[in-house]
Amino acid sequence: MSTRANAIEAVERYFDADEFRAELATRVAVPSSSREEEHKPDLFAYLDDLMRPRFEAMGFDVHIHANPVLDRAPFLVARRIEDPSLPTLFCYGHGDTVPGEEGRWKDGRDPWTLDVVKDERWGERWYGRGTADNKGQHAINMEAMRHVLETRGKLGYNVTFLIEMAEEMGSPGLREFCFSQKELLKADLLIASDGPRLAADKPDMKLGTRGCLNFRMRLEYREGGHHSGNWGGLLANPAIVLMHAITSIVGPKGQIKLPALKPEHMPNSVRSALGGLEVVPGPDDPSIDPWWGEPNFTAAEKVFGWNTFEVLSFISGDPDKPQNAVPPFAEAICQIRFVVETDPDTFLPAIRAHLEDNGFDGIVVDTMRQSMLGASRLDPDHPAVGWASASIEKTLGVKPGVIPNSGGSLPNDIFLDMLGMATLWVPHSYAGCSQHAPNEHVLAPLMRDGLRMMTGLFWDLGEEFPRA
């Protein structure tokens, strides 16, 4: 008789025989950077050459759909319908990456070659672009599901798997595609993996994400710079004015000063859920600045339960060749990360009104292309949360942390709010993985535990499918 333990033992053997590492290496080898037009063929190849045959071998029907707004970033939808009367699981991943940043990796590593390095604490680190974000993570979920199928002969539920190829550009076209394909993508529960664990040595689940709004603030007074000796003190400096405008919105310690950009309060359910969480940097992480951010909040409350305002870049004049001149313009790219208790549609009008009321005339505040991802959060009392927590604890012997929403952003609001499914995110990476930077990597023990954990989850789902 095939059992849950049999499936987990099989996936352990698969990992220990280096078969998963070989599978991940083939995925990393595809330079699927979505931000660069020249990699368009690679985005299609990732889906056609790697994903399609892998899913078809698992009994899925596979179709690749055009992106309605971006011609180089298609969507793959793989469906396995065991019985239309059964509930449906929805899985998600993205096969695109940020640029490889060739030449900037330590020890001359090629970002598109999986490089295994021995590590005293973690056994092995696997380096390569996409290992953590997101090829390694959806590879774990696919291979775990395959081992459940091979062990039991069936799943006991239906599955729809969506792989997109433009997440690193803000998922252009995903919302439009999902809206037009609501019936095709209809499901009861999402289980997906992206982002890092809160702590590398403990599993956790996120029930949603903070939203993200990027926008531009630009002040331009005149054409060309003018000699600062002849005109300094006579010509307004746009950089100084823009700096003061920004500091009227966010304080010197990072606290948001404009009430319209933050929640009125933190819900008790969120504060309670975050009460037992500690944000402890790992050995590869930067140290936390305890004086930064909303005063009297814990670190977990700051990053998971509240809004933050960031200046991502600031430019005036020519930073590489500064001149002795009053610059003609200044521009800042800013960002607001926000929780579900705030309405992002109100942010920019509130900023414009605030600037006008405080005499900061002439500053143009506008959105950027593909500038926003929405905030979302599943109710922590949903039956799927307790069910998944019990399954993970049964497999790993550790009760996972339950985090109301991640600090980062994903298109989860599309799945939770538009498509109406419960959402659970179970990450297999950690905060020090260097995603979006040179030296991106994963930790081998987290990969192995991820395979075991997801095999248990997908097995248990066939015996009890939690629904509200």
**281 or 321, higher pLDDT:** 321
Structure tokens at 289: 């600045």
User: Which pair of structure tokens corresponds to residue 222?
Assistant: 């005149």
Mean pLDDT of the chain: 96
Average pLDDT rounded to a whole number, residues 175-191: 97
Query: CA 382, CA 274: separation in Å to the nearest integer?
Result: 17
Residue recorded with tokens 């927590």? 389
Residues whose CB falls within 8 Å of the CB of residue 263, separated by 6 or more in sequence, listed in order = 306, 307, 339, 341, 342
Q: Is the pLDDT of residue 405 over 90?
A: yes
Per this entry, what is the length of the chain? 468
Three-state secondary-structure class, residue 382: coil
Mean pLDDT, residues 276-292: 86
Residue 232, CA distances (Å) to 45, 244, 306, 377 in order: 57, 18, 41, 51
pLDDT class of 370 with cuts at 50, 70, 90: low
> Structure pTM?
0.90
* Structure tokens, 368: 């950027």
Share of the chain above pLDDT 90, in %: 91
Phi/psi at 57 (nearest 5 deg)? -65, -20
Asked if the model's pLDDT at residue 240 lies above 80, the reply is yes
pLDDT band at 180 (very low <50, low <70, confident <90, very high): very high
What confidence score (pLDDT) does residue 371 get?
67
Q: Is the pLDDT of residue 286 over 90?
A: no
Q: Given a cut of 90, is residue 1 above it in pLDDT? A: no
pLDDT tens digits along 196-222: 999 999 999 999 999 999 999 999 999
**How does pLDDT run across 68-119, given as a tens digit for each residue?**
999 999 999 999 999 999 999 999 999 999 999 999 999 999 999 999 999 9
How many of the other CB atoms lie within 10 Å of CB of 91?
A: 22
Q: How far apart are CA 75 and CA 273, in angstroms?
A: 35
Helix pair 444-461, 135-152: axis angle to 10 deg: 50
